[in-house]
Amino acid sequence: MCGIIACRTDRPATEYLRVGLRRLEYRGYDSVGIAVRTAGGGIARLRTTERIGALDTLLDRWTGPRFDGLGIGHTRWATHGVVSEGNAHPHTDCANQISVVHNGIIVNAVALRARLARAGHKFVTTVDSEVLCHLIEDERRAGDLLQAVQNALASVQGSWALAVLEHATGRIVLAANGSPLLVAHTADGDFAASDIAAIADWVDEYRVLGDGDIVDLTDQDTWRHCGAAIPPPMATRSLWRGGDVELDGYADYMAKEIDEQPEAVARILDELGDGIATGALWNGLGLPPFERLRMLGCGTSLNAGNVLGNLARRLGGVPASATLASEAGGEVADTGQLCLAISQSGETADVLRAMQSSAVGESPVVAITNNVHSTLARRADAVVGCSAGPEIGVAATKTFICQVVTGSALLLSALVATKRLSTPSAMGFVDDLRRLPDQLATAAAVARCVVPTMVDGLLAESGFIFIARGLGLPYAAEGALKLTELTYRWAECYAAGELKHGPLALIGAGTPVIVIENGDPRLAANTAEVQARGARVISIGLPGSAVPVIENHTAPWGPIVATVPLQILARTMALALGHDVDKPRNLAKSVTVE
Ligand code: F6R
């Protein structure tokens, strides 16, 4: 989704903006733009609806005055207004005295636009963000830019991370509310970005703006909150390196990130392993005991939530339900409930909204996230990081595996601490978890040999059915989601026992049915039902399956290794169809709109 970068550097700002915007590419975008001061105090505003390479070309061909070190940049993922150069950020006010980049949604944009237009402001775009330029323009008449931004935001409802560049002075003012923004001071200069990835090349530590904060991007940041000066928050060490977003010889990030799964799981177990069977991991969170669990998430993260629900029910007899974050408003919180909010980005608007919904009420929330400085992490009562490392591919791969492993570690620890599981049993499960890195690596090797041989025969198919039972179901759902988002083909997941209640009508000669074969004895009959109707069955699972990857079919987290061939199937098909596996159409990495 949209990304922001701002810089105040000694060298030309374009040198940093070009790199930073490229680092933001992974989030998905449909247009990109910058506003940079030039020697003599002018402003160069360059925007394109093409890829960032097109912006590079505009900069390479620039024949105007030299760029100075002050600039802002933006990658846009359209929500309000079509994809066009005019709608691309940065936007300006009527008098072209400020440039603004904005992430978030202005909820009362229509009313503000009407009011500003009546007052004589000329709007040149159809995006909500433009109202900010005109509001700040009015307030700037009284003088100070920081005060103007503060006054302007007083009438705005919604979410924002914004950077405002004042053309005459080169001053840059930042503000955040419900949308991430961070600042950093480095040997190269002062930076702000919506995502640490954008500035990871130059930044060792950074500070995160809280909701309502306004900051002057100088080497001595002035921080304000609700009109009052506040000390800057504690700095956070950056775990990203610029090189983290390099392909390291891989053809795409998805391939790289699938390969990183064993190492990521080993890292999680190094970090959390000792606190599992002792209950210390859970006790360290300082949360009250719980009687039931509610998992909140979207897409892949909700699939991980379903895995965790199965584990809690099976091992601890804990009632557990998984709630689609976007539908949480229709649910009612249960007494004694603990919520697990699962989100790799920690910025998913649906999840943030769900935390304020009736499904959560007053219950404590643990965030399981790959971004421990995210809005979700800051708003939750406790946080457990997934330690997947940077994931650039839009389709979640290693973050899913890491959510399952981290969440399983947490729940095992909680069950021990609440006397629902014995320490020796938990120790046995920890041993099983420690075997996972090798099993995942083996699964990848097997799948890479077998899956490509199946793909040619599948490319012409328009629809795919995934079936499983019990603990295999969330993995089948994840396989179907991955195939859908990467191949742009229909893929539906069904509980195998449900087929005869309707979906069996879909099966005809050659219909591809992917079965997660996890040893449930009832699956054989369901597989026979589809085979009898001519389906082409691809079984993934225990020895004897077409893709034999599962060794431990009794683990309470289910057949996690089946994920690997499912990822490889989706990737291999998508590549054969000519799709970009890292940037599936219409999708974004961090979904900050509801
Ligand atoms: C699918 C995928 C999405 C995300 C979903 C939630 O590959 O990545 O379904 O899982 O958008 O995102 P997070 O986990 O950031 O809340």
Provide the pLDDT for residue 178: 85
Q: Round to whole Å and give the CA distance between 346 and 335.
A: 26
153 CA distance to ligand 1 middle (Å):
30
From the CA of 503, how far away is ligand 1's center (Å)?
26
The CATH number given to whatever domain includes residue 483 is: 3.40.50.10490
* 29, part of any domain: yes
Give me 245's structure tokens: 């977003």
Strand 236-237 versus strand 172-177 pairing type: unpaired
CATH code where residue 15 lies: 3.60.20.10
Residue 298, ligand 1, Cβ within 6 A: yes
Please compute, for residue 256, the number of CA atoms within 13 A of its CA located in the half-sphere on the CB side. 18
Query: What 3-state DSSP class applies to 302?
Result: helix
Q: Are 396 and 540 part of one and the same domain?
A: no
Q: Is the CB of 344 under 6 A from ligand 1?
A: yes
Atom of ligand 1 nearest to the CA of 376: 16
Q: Which residue type does 492 have?
A: E
What contacts 27, CB < 8 A, 6 or more positions away?
Answer: 1, 2, 3, 75, 77, 195, 394, 588, 589, 590
Instruction: Note whether 156 and 104 are within 8 A (CB).
Output: no
User: In 3-state terms, what secondary structure has residue 146?
Assistant: helix
301 lines ligand 1 (CB under 6 A): yes
Which of 332, 461, 486 has the alpha carbon at shortest distance from 394? Answer: 486
Q: Is the CB of 450 under 6 A from ligand 1?
A: no
351 lines ligand 1 (CB under 6 A): yes
**Quick check: helix, strand or coil at residue 570?**
helix
128 plus 196 within the same structural domain: yes
Q: Does ligand 1 have an atom closer than 6 angstroms to the CB of 38?
A: no
Q: What is the pLDDT of residue 37?
A: 96
Q: How many separate domains does the chain show?
A: 3
Residue at a domain's end among 228, 244, 260: 244
Residue numbers of the domain that contains 366: 248-434
Q: Which of the listed residues 258, 343, 585 should we mutate to test ligand 1's pocket, taking the one with most ligand atoms within 8 A of CB?
A: 343
481 Cα to the center of ligand 1, angstroms: 10
Do 559 and 591 share a domain, yes or no?
A: yes
Dist CA 178 CA 376 (whole Å): 10
Residues with Cβ within 8 Å of 304's Cβ and at least 6 positions away in sequence, in order, are: 297, 342, 368, 400, 403, 404, 407, 474
Measured in angstroms, how far is the CA atom of residue 474 from the centroid of ligand 1?
14
- Respond yes or no on whether the N-terminal peptide bond of residue 90 is cis (omega within 30° of 0): yes
Ligand 1 atom nearest to CA at 344: 14
Residues 485 and 404 in one domain: no
Does residue 387's CB lie within 6 angstroms of at least one atom of ligand 1? no
537: phi then psi, degrees, rounded to nearest 5: -90, 130
Among protein residues, the one with the nearest Cα to ligand 1's atom 5 is 299
* Nearest protein Cα to ligand 1, atom 10: 300
Burial of 147 (0-12, 13-18, 19+ CB in 10 A): middle
Mean pLDDT by 10 residues, the chain (594 residues): 92 95 82 93 92 92 94 88 88 96 93 97 94 97 91 95 95 93 94 91 91 88 85 83 78 96 97 96 96 98 98 98 96 96 94 96 97 87 93 94 98 98 97 97 97 95 97 98 98 96 95 95 94 97 93 91 98 97 85 72
Q: Are 213 and 175 spatial neighbours (Cβ–Cβ below 8 Å)? A: yes
Residues 373 and 508 in one domain: no
Residue 24 belongs to some domain of the structure: yes
40 with 98, same domain: the answer is yes
Is residue 307 one of the residues assigned to a domain? yes
For residue 447, tell me if it sits in a domain.
no
| Cβ of 591 below 6 Å from ligand 1 | yes
Residue 589 forms part of a structural domain:
yes
Q: How would you class 459 by CB atoms within 10 Å of its CB: exposed for 0-12, middle for 13-18, buried for 19 or more? A: exposed
DSSP states of 444-474 as a string?
HHHHHHHHHHHHGGGTT-SEEEEEE-GGGHH
Own/partner pairs, 582-587, CB within 8 angstroms, 24+ separation: 582/26, 582/252, 582/253, 582/254, 582/392, 582/393, 582/394, 583/25, 583/26, 583/28, 583/394, 584/394, 584/395, 584/485, 584/486, 584/488, 585/488, 587/28, 587/394, 587/395, 587/485
Q: Give the Cα separation of 491 and 206 in Å (integer).
A: 42
- C-beta 125 within 6 A of ligand 1: no
DSSP 39-107: TTS-EEEEEESS-HHHHHHHHHT--SSPEEEEEEEEEE--SSS-S-TTTSSPEE-TTS-EEEEEES-BT
Please report, in angstroms and rounded to a whole number, the separation of the first and last CA atoms in the chain.
12
Listed in sequence order, the residues at least 6 apart from 139 whose beta carbon sits closer than 8 Å to its beta carbon are 147, 148, 149, 151, 152
Ligand 1 centroid, distance to 484 Cα (angstroms): 13
In the reported structure, the alpha carbon of residue 395 is separated from the centroid of ligand 1 by a whole-number distance in angstroms of 7
Q: Ligand 1 within 6 A of 370 CB?
A: no
Beta strands in 282-426 (DSSP E): 292-297, 320-324, 337-343, 365-369, 382-385
Helix (H) or strand (E) segment spanning residue 270: helix 261-272
Q: Which residues participate in catalysis according to the annotation?
A: 2, 589
Q: Which two tokens stand for residue 506?
A: 């879909």
Verify whether ligand 1 is closer than 6 Å to residue 413 (CB atom): no
pTM score: 0.83
Q: Whose CA is nearest to atom 9 of ligand 1?
A: 299
Question: Which residue blocks in 488-562 are alpha helix, DSSP H?
Answer: 523-532
Q: Within this chain, do residues 398 and 489 fall inside the same structural domain, yes or no?
A: no
Residue of minimum CA distance from atom 13 in ligand 1: 343
Q: How far, in Å, from the CA of 186 to the mean position of ligand 1?
A: 32
Whether 201 is in a domain gets the answer yes
Ligand 1 atom with least separation from CA of 369: 14
Co-location of 213 and 94 in the same domain: yes
Q: Which residues contact 555 (CB under 8 A, 6 or more apart)?
A: 429, 432
Q: Which of 204, 228, 244 is the last residue of a domain?
A: 244
According to DSSP, the residues that pair with 75 across neighbouring strands are 3, 32
Backbone angles phi, psi at 551, to 5 degrees: -100, -45
Are 225 and 288 contained in the same domain? no
Q: What share of the chain is helix, strand, coil (3-state, %, to 5)?
A: 40, 25, 40
- Whole-angstrom Cα Rg for the chain: 25
Sheet with strand 547-548: strands edge to edge = 490-495, 463-468, 512-517, 536-541, 547-548
Choice from 301, 345, 585, 587 to test ligand 1 binding pocket (greatest atom count within 8 A of CB): 301
Q: Do 217 and 255 belong together in one domain?
A: no
DSSP type of residue 121: P
Atom of ligand 1 nearest to the CA of 300: 10
Longest dimension (CA), the chain: 78
